[in-house]
Structure 1
């Protein structure tokens, strides 16, 4: 039960942080920075970039939509942290099942993306992409924390 509470608390924090970013209208700026950063890190040729970005953008949008669905469902079920204690086991199980279902869709989406993008860029660049996405997220959060202080 403690793990469930911790998991739900983390998800709730993520919901708040992402909604705060969107409210400030910086979403487009962040996307532009991400595209620039990934292009630089992957060192894409013009031919690769022309084929890569439509595939990546569709994948990114699908991942974003699935994560939003997951957050929204959790947010709808738990309007505040007091409701976690009020959950019965059946409702908690439904939430976990929903989370696992969406996690599976996220995995399938990632698998499909790799199958599509491997026709355009090498496996080595796919790994570089994954690392660059993580680095971008870390740098973005670091910049956000620095601005906040």
Structure 2
């Protein structure tokens, strides 16, 4: 009886270690991508050190808001019913994304000017395309 319990505890510990290792690897990959994105945005928008210091805290807020709307839009969030009472109204989510972008374009412009704050959204899209190409290339080379 004791050896069965001991075996169960050992298996449980291995499962916990395996899950936390997977989580750490996913978190590390996410951080690498985020660092690459920051470098890409900084380079493409030609941000000075001061501008980058002021810009990225605002960007992080923007990113978090957009992430929450995208999760709700795809149904991966319990708050998906918050937009106009219809969880499948894709247009309402698109409108919310546009509202967020307009709001943050104003906030960004206070730090980096109107032209570069508008350009930011294009740069963000270019990074996504770059990332998708990189992932596809990695897949095709394996």
Tell me the distance in 1 between the aligned counterparts of 2:70 and 2:24.
17
Q: Per-residue deviation at 1:141?
A: 0.6
Structure 1 ranges of 4+ moved more than 4 A: none
Q: Per-residue deviation at 1:131?
A: 2.2
The answer to whether residue 60 in structure 2 is matched with residue 57 in structure 1 is: yes
Tell me the distance in 1 between the aligned counterparts of 2:57 and 2:73.
24
Normalising by structure 1, report the TM-score: 0.64
Tell me the distance in 1 between the aligned counterparts of 2:60 and 2:115.
20
Residue number among 113, 137, 141 corresponding to 2:132 in the alignment: 141
Higher relative contact order (CA 8 A, sep 6+): 1
| 1:5-16 matches, cutoff 5 A | none
Q: Which 10-residue stretch deviates more, 37-46 or 22-31?
A: 22-31
Check conservation: 2:62, 2:104, Cα contact below 8 A. Answer: yes
The answer to whether residue 117 in structure 2 is matched with residue 126 in structure 1 is: yes
Question: Of the two, which has the highest radius of gyration?
Answer: 2
Residue number among 24, 31, 36 corresponding to 2:34 in the alignment: 31
Question: Structure 1: which 5+ residue stretches go unaligned?
Answer: 1-21, 75-93
The answer to whether residue 105 in structure 2 is matched with residue 105 in structure 1 is: no
Tell me the distance in 2 between the aligned counterparts of 1:138 and 1:73.
23
User: What is the Cα-based RMSD across aligned positions, in Å?
Assistant: 2.2
1:17 aligned residue: none
Question: Structure 2: which 5+ residue stretches go unaligned?
Answer: 1-22, 78-85
Tell me the distance in 2 between the aligned counterparts of 1:34 and 1:73.
24
Secondary structure at the aligned position of 2:137 is classed as helix
| 1:37-116 matches, cutoff 5 A | 37-72=40-75, 94-97=86-89, 99-116=90-107
Secondary structure at the aligned position of 1:117 is classed as helix
